[in-house]
Amino acid sequence: MGRLTRHELLLVAVGAALGACVGFAAQAGLLGAADTVPPFIFLLFGLGLAEIAAGYVTQTPPGALIRMGARILAFAMGLGVLILVTGRLA
């Protein structure tokens, strides 16, 4: 994949922070495992919004700003933090 750019590293950090936020929301009972939408979907939605916001701020199309490997790494990092906080995936 090569070296990560500053924007990609920021997305990975946002993914970890979103994973923690979603995990704490699930622990508090705001997001339940029995709900229609599992908690990791909120993580995906948040990462998508973060990438759109970054593209808007930098006036760059989001697809050109961040490579797919960094997106996968950000989701994996967020999912790992979510599992660490809640102790479960869903």
Contacts with 89 (C-beta within 8 Å, 6 or more apart), sequence order = 38, 40, 79, 82, 83
What is the structure's pLDDT at 62?
74
pLDDT along the chain (90 residues), means of 10: 87 95 90 78 93 90 87 95 85
DSSP assignment, residue 38?
Answer: -
pTM score, whole prediction:
0.87
Kindly report the backbone phi and psi dihedral angles of residue 35, in degrees, each rounded to the nearest multiple of 5, phi listed first: -70, 170
Contact (Cβ atoms closer than 8 angstroms) between residue 12 and residue 74:
yes
Question: Over the Cα atoms of the chain, what is R_g?
Answer: 14
